Amino acid sequence: MICKKYLKITRILYIMRFITAIIKRFMPKELPKPVGRWRTETCNTQMNTKIDLSNEDHCGPCGQYALEKIEVKNSKIPTLDVKNLK
């Protein structure tokens, strides 16, 4: 009697696994989304920034990129000539 119940349960489990395997086969597979440094950039400015930063990490002199960005930032700030204000 216990053996018959056990066989019924195992058959049911086998059938359930078989059905779920078939369903999974026809379900669309979700592709992993690239994240971080490996995602594809659609914006050219973001892509160029990523390229510049990766080059700075691997082949540029230490701090050169940061120094260039500071110079560009400082050149954009307007300066007041106090002597010519009068």
Mean pLDDT, the chain, whole residue set:
76
Q: Is 5 a residue whose pLDDT tops 90? A: no
CA atoms within 13 A on the CB side of 18: 6
Domain count, the chain: 1
| Side chain identity, residue 82 | V
Would you say residue 84 lies in a domain?
no
Kindly report the pTM of this predicted structure: 0.33
40-81 confidence digits (pLDDT tens): 777 888 888 877 777 665 555 666 777 777 788 777 766 666
Could you tell me if residue 47 is inside a domain? Answer: yes
Which domain, by its residues, includes 50? 2-28+36-76
b/e string for 13-50 if b means 16 or more Cβ within 10 A?
Answer: eeeeeeeeeeeeeeeeeeeeeeeeeeeeeeeeeeeeee
